[in-house]
Amino acid sequence: MKYGTRAGNPAKTRTQCVVVGVYENNQLSETATLLDKASKGHIRKVLKRGDIQGKTNQTLLLHDVPNVNSPRILLVGLGNSDTADPQRFVSTARTAIKQIKQISAKNTLCCLLETKGGGKGLAWKTSRMIEQFEAGLYDYTEMKGKPTESAQTTEVIDFQLTDKNDQNEVSAAIARAKALTDGITAAKDVANTPANVCTPTYLATAAKQLAKDYGSITTTILEEKDMQKHGMGAFLSVSQGSDEPGKLIIIKHKGAKPKDKPHVIVGKGITFDTGGISLKPGGTMYEMIYDMCGAASVLGTMRAVAGQQLPMNVVGVIAAAENMPSGKASRPGDIVKTMSGQTVEILNTDAEGRLVLCDALTYVDKFNPASVIDIATLTGACVIALGSHATGLFSNDDAVADNLVEAGENTLDRVWRMPIWEEYQTQINSAFADMQNIGGREAGSITAACFLARYTKKYRWAHLDIAGTAYKWAGLNKGATGRPVTLLTQYLNDRANET
């Protein structure tokens, strides 16, 4: 989708559809007022008939409104003007794109930037609107046997400016938002790719492609023989059960001086998770193509960062493996030695994400990081605790945690901080090793984070459990959400703006 800006009288603009907002109590937005005036009160007449009351997310499509060049006007309900907030603005954008998809219009003039967004500025509203538009238009069709003919005909959406002086700000916001949504789309695409195609090698190839696409990116792949030299026994205990070799993928964005400390993001990339010898129930095992959404979010964020040309150093690390049962697979009761020198008793081979991550988190200390954030579909317990609305946040540093909370509130890609108090550590103590990889039924997401915390004491660290937010499984509406690419990109933007 292409995005641009326009100014001037919307009634005279040559476009195939104009999208305007109307509030409750027959209150017109600024653009709706201009169109009503041009049409000699036509829109107010429609409102008085009661076909639309201006309630949130109501829509009404008008055709051939007098004295308006566009053959269509889409009215979108904005709710009560006195109680407008950011969430409602985003919901309005989501509603608008659903209706735009159904209209046979190649170009559309969107006049929603003028609407109230709970105190948010033009750049914020532009970015959120493009996010919603791109999400609404997204379809994963790579695996269709025949090319799918999309009913979507919209090619260009222009944003109406009430002040020409806003053009630079909005145009810059469009460029940043397009880089962000390119990253979100890339994350969705790789996450939705089935496991017979999306292997650790596939993820490595995708990371190498990033280096070809962006001059600021370099990619390095550690093979299993390299991991053996580094002593990554926990990681290799997961990958050894599969014919697909594991990969540790390092993606570097160089946007600042070499001496500047990088911010590091680490993604869990289990391309398929059977549970290993601790086999999962078969009924919903197909969902485990999404056990690499942490890796997908790293790929997406690195693409967004490079596209936005952030003036900072960022390192993305992907711990990619397939967890399969075989004669070579690790067994419950095995004890392995991690890169850190600590030993782990594997009581459940289905708690494999923390095993690949612990070695990756030890490895990234070599970068002398400013902060480290790992992202993983780690525990079903987090889904039970927070559902699909908030990502679970755990951290050993209050400033990092606060920064992530702030970024989440700003973008509405929210997180909720949970404890990793020392009292929980006792649940993963082992009689035979330094620790065990599960902590029992209680506080499952917390004890998983406590496990990772034992490998992150040398730097400022946060863990994002995205098990509930990274994907949805709802029939034809299933698929990856692209979260938390928006959150991570905002967090990194905020850090870049600090310097």
Is the predicted pLDDT of residue 82 greater than 80, yes or no?
Answer: yes
- What was the pLDDT predicted at 149? 63
Contacts of 6 (CB under 8 A, 6+ apart): 13, 109, 158, 159, 160, 161
Is the predicted pLDDT of residue 152 greater than 90, yes or no?
Answer: no
Alpha helices by DSSP H, 138-194: 167-192
Average pLDDT, the chain: 96
**Mean pLDDT score, 237-250:** 98
**Mean pLDDT score, 474-496:** 94
Q: The dihedral of CA 248, 394, 303, 94: what is its sign?
A: positive
HSE of 214 in the Cβ direction (CA atoms, 13 Å)?
25
Superfamily of domain 179-498: Zn peptidases (3.40.630.10)
- Residue % of the chain over a pLDDT of 90: 95
Residues noted as catalytic: 280, 354
* pLDDT 10s digits, 347-386: 999 999 999 999 999 999 999 999 999 999 999 999 999 9
Is the predicted pLDDT of residue 431 greater than 90, yes or no?
Answer: yes
* pLDDT 10s digits, 103-150: 989 999 999 999 998 899 999 999 999 999 999 999 999 999 986 665
* Token pair recorded at residue 98: 């659903």
**What is the distance between the alpha carbons of residues 347 and 22, in angstroms, rounded to a whole number?**
59
Q: Give the start-to-end residue ranges of the domains of the chain.
A: 2-144+151-161, 179-498
Is the predicted pLDDT of residue 27 greater than 80, yes or no?
Answer: yes
- What was the pLDDT predicted at 318? 99
- What was the pLDDT predicted at 167? 96
* Token pair recorded at residue 460: 């400022």
Q: Which of 494, 482, 493 is nearest to 297 (CA)?
A: 482
Per CATH, the number for 2-144+151-161 is 3.40.220.10
Is the predicted pLDDT of residue 151 greater than 60, yes or no?
Answer: no
Partners of residue 108 on adjacent β-strands: 157
**Mean pLDDT score, 20-28:** 94
**What is the distance between the alpha carbons of residues 249 and 118, in angstroms, rounded to a whole number?**
41
- What was the pLDDT predicted at 148? 63
pTM above 0.95, yes or no: yes
Secondary structure percentages of the chain, helix, strand, coil, to 5: 40, 20, 40
Q: Provide the residue type at 333 as one letter.
A: G
- What was the pLDDT predicted at 499? 62
* Token pair recorded at residue 378: 């780690």
- What was the pLDDT predicted at 477? 84
Q: Which of 235, 253, 451 is nearest to 336 (CA)?
A: 235
- What was the pLDDT predicted at 474? 79
Is the predicted pLDDT of residue 458 greater than 60, yes or no?
Answer: yes
* Token pair recorded at residue 36: 């009503």
* pLDDT 10s digits, 278-335: 999 999 999 999 999 999 999 999 999 999 999 999 999 999 999 999 999 999 999 9
**Mean pLDDT score, 336-355:** 98
